[in-house]
Every structure is written in C-alpha cells, then in structure tokens.
Amino acid sequence: QVDVPGGGDLLVGERDTGRIVRVAARGGKVTEVGSVPGVAAEEEGGLLGIAVSSSFGSDHQVYAYFTTASDNRIARMIYDERRGPGDQLGAPDTIFKGIPKGRFHNGGRLAFGPDKMLYATTGETGDKALAQDKASPAGKILRMTPDGEPAHGNPEPDSVVYDYGHRNVEGLAWDGAKRLWASEFGQDAWDELNLIEPGRNYGWPRVEGKRRDGAPVPPGYADPVLVWKPADASPSGLAYAGGSLWMASLRGERLWRIPLNGTKPAAAPQAFLQGRYGRLRTVVAAGDGALWLVTGNTDGRGTPRKGDDRILRLEVS
C-alpha cells in the first residue's frame, strides 16, 4: 500500500519484506524508512497496509496493518526523519490485534477518513461464516479511533465493526461529499463496487454481486453499485479524483474510471492502461489532479516485466 505523508512524497510498504520506503515525488529517489517487526509474509499475508496519521504534521505517526505468526493486527510507529535511513521508525505500538489470519483474504487496507477516524478492511480468511458473524472482526470494514478504540457513531458503541458481509475489500475512498466507497473481490461471478453505510450487510457469502434476473437483492442485504467479471477486474486500490472513482485491477490489468453523479455512476465505467503495465495494485490521489499507481507483477501471480514493480504517475482530468 502507499500513502502520502505531506510534501508530495510517497511512503510505500512492501508486503513480503515488511519494509517501508519513501519515494521522492520529484526524481523518484528511494530512501529506506525502516521495517515493521513481526511481519509473517506467507501466501497473501504480510505487510498489507500503511496509513499516515490524519495529524501527521504534529504526531508523526505511521500505521501499519500486517500479518503475524498468530493474527492480523494494526500497530503505529513514530516516523523520525532526523534518524538515519533504515532506522526512522520507532518501536511498534499495537492498537488492535486478534483479526483472524488465513492463507488468503486477509484484507489489509488502511485509511484515515474525513472524520479523522481510522478505517481498516479485513478479509474472511476463506472461512465464509466469519463475514456474517458480527462478533468477529473478519470480513468487515472496521472503524476506530487513532488509539484503536470503537469510534463514536459506530453501529454498536462497544465494537469497531462498521459494516459486515464482505469477502475481501482491498480499496477504500471517500468522494467529494465524504461518502465512503469500497472495492471488493468476488469469487467466481462478480467483483463489486459498494457504497458503504454503517451497519449494512453486504451479503457475502449469501449474495455475490447483483441479482441477474432483475429481482432485487433479498431484504437486509446492500446491493452493489457496480459489478465486474473477475477477469476484467479483481479490484485492489480505490481513489477519488476529478469527480470520479478510480479502481486498480489486478487480474484485469487495467484502471477503471467510474464517473459519479451523487451515489450513482454518471456514465458507464471506462478502462484505461489495459494490459500496458500488468497488474495494478494501488491507486492514490496525488492531490493535484494526478494519480499515483503501483504495479503488482512480482507477487508470484503476475508476469514481471523489465523495471517491475514500478510506481507510475498519471495525469487525469
């Protein structure tokens, strides 16, 4: 995952090594920041998400979601740029632990919302029943304070669970009206773009995608806004820029643009960069009308090309 700590540079986390590097927005110089201790990178586990604090200018905190030998967890570390390269991260302070881990579907996207609360996506680890179990943090979007406590306004005041019924959400983005959107891996039929509302049940494993016979989704389940065949998407990162959502696709090897009109698409999704750079893992708004893209071809599932993996900058309008 990638985040922007200020000044335009990027912080980039490496899943298999647990390493975090800083990439200069101008010139692309790479400086090692440090490594997250305790990362167990097996199958789809590892360092899965990073996010800088919404108060980074004053607290210098970097948050990480990662797999350990026993669970998935979230920790924060002080980032001290005055220290030497490779030694700029302080000791991790675990703020939330006990998220089930599995060979697959560990989730891992981290993001601070407009409300300055920390959001984290979790997978159901292949145990489908966990997605519908409100007592489990797996198969959910979690919302917590920067200290890892249940955030005020959550559906249940003593729980970090914000919504449930997810297979494996890998993208989070807020639009111009501060609405939360999420991109989600389906199984064999449909990948999804969902508008996230607190307390809603997004259906997995009971419902995948939209009902194709024209009938509504059964009562109690939220219907996705858009769906794709996995061959065209397998979505990962999600960003909002220029009035559109931008969704990075792994298996689909393309960047989808979804122009919005409120809570609905303003037009049919458009595909960009199809097959040009291979698997696209992460997309991040640069804040100046551009997007940062990170490829994911060296994860054992792609076909590495010369120069992979790489960070791309895309001007959008």
**CA-CA distance, 196 to 134, in Å (whole number)?**
16
**CA-CA distance, 175 to 185, in Å (whole number)?**
21
Along the chain (317 residues), what's the average pLDDT of each consecutive run of 10 residues?
81 95 92 96 94 94 98 97 94 98 96 98 97 98 98 98 97 98 94 98 91 64 94 96 97 98 97 96 90 92 90 89
* Three-state secondary structure call for residue 94: strand
- Which DSSP helix (H) or strand (E) runs through 291? strand 290-295
56 DSSP 8-state letter: H
Q: Which two tokens stand for residue 96?
A: 């939330």
Calculate the dihedral angle through the C-alpha atoms of 287, 123, 236, 263, rounding to the nearest 10 degrees. -60
Q: Which two tokens stand for residue 22?
A: 């800083």
Q: What is the per-residue pLDDT for 2?
A: 81
Q: What is the per-residue pLDDT for 1?
A: 75
Q: What predicted TM-score, i.e. pTM, was given to this entire model?
A: 0.96
What's the per-residue H, E or C state across 140-184?
EEEEECCCCCECCCCCCCCCCEEEECCCCEEEEEECCCCCEEEEE
Say if CB 220 and CB 214 are below 8 A apart: no
**CA-CA distance, 256 to 115, in Å (whole number)?**
27
Q: Which of 113, 112, 24, 40 is nearest to 76 (CA)?
A: 112
Q: Other CB atoms closer than 10 Å to residue 262's CB: what's the count?
A: 10
Per DSSP, helices labelled H in the chain are 56-59
Q: Which of 300, 256, 317 is nearest to 103 (CA)?
A: 300
Say if CB 279 and CB 266 are below 8 A apart: no
Q: What is the per-residue pLDDT for 6?
A: 72
Q: Other CB atoms closer than 10 Å to residue 84's CB: what's the count?
A: 8
